[in-house]
Structure 1
């Protein structure tokens, strides 16, 4: 399947360049972790590679490995930060797969027994709530 070209004007590319704000919770040389501004659960974060790629079909193997290592690290951290019972890890590729932002990213969502994911309504979360949750995650990292 041919993958469309990467668009460097997507929201995550702009965040990586510092053109748009985000609540950063972790960063290393290959990945960035930010709060999802339309969270489906408390503590919902996104792990994104710093190098450009559209999705699973075109990401370089070393970037994918770095992303997944960060996903694992952050899954453990959000369990601690939110006293969660588990996590949901999601990655969507192409429109038919549910992808909306065309820069590779992986969702890490803390989960709690008996609590369903909130629907994806497109409504943004309260900025103060996101800031507080980001701080909680950063504290769990230290």
Structure 2
């Protein structure tokens, strides 16, 4: 999957599409998902043009990587997700059903989330 500079997250970063910001740092932005799947559903994205976690871990600077990991933890605390526990999810590529070609981590919380994946045959 190639990076598309016109993806929805790139447009949010450029201010072309509004978002309900939760947290911002030098290299990261966190905002509420527009179609939440749980009471807490926030996205955290790097400000750089990275397709997915593989791309980010290979090309991002150490400063960007540290900022992004800290931003994910800070965001979880800002929205109160740490109180009952939360799930982090980042889809990487076609088989993981990645829809937007810009790295993003979902923070889900606020309710019992159930199993991460069903076993084959369930």
TM-score of the superposed pair, with normalisation by structure 1: 0.70
- Note the 1:25-104 alignment, pairs <5 A: 25-59=22-56, 60-62=60-62, 63-79=64-80, 84-104=83-103
- Taking the aligned partners of 1:108 and 1:28, their CA distance within structure 2 comes to 17
The CA deviation at 1:116 is 5.5
TM-score of the superposed pair, with normalisation by structure 2: 0.80
- Taking the aligned partners of 2:42 and 2:101, their CA distance within structure 1 comes to 17
- RMSD of Structure 2 on Structure 1 (CA): 2.0
- Taking the aligned partners of 2:73 and 2:79, their CA distance within structure 1 comes to 10
Structure 1, unmatched stretches of 5+, are 118-142
The CA deviation at 1:112 is 2.5
Structure 2 equivalent of residue 107 of structure 1: 106
Give deviations 1:85-111, integer Å, cap 9, x for gaps: 111111110121121111001011123
- Note the 1:123-138 alignment, pairs <5 A: none
Q: 4+ residue stretches of structure 1 with deviation over 3 A?
A: none
CA distance 1:90–1:61, change in 2 (3 Å)? farther
Task: Classify the secondary structure of the residue corresponding to 1:15.
Answer: helix
- Taking the aligned partners of 2:96 and 2:34, their CA distance within structure 1 comes to 20
Structure 2, unmatched stretches of 5+, are 116-122
Structure 1 equivalent of residue 119 of structure 2: none
The aligned length equals 111
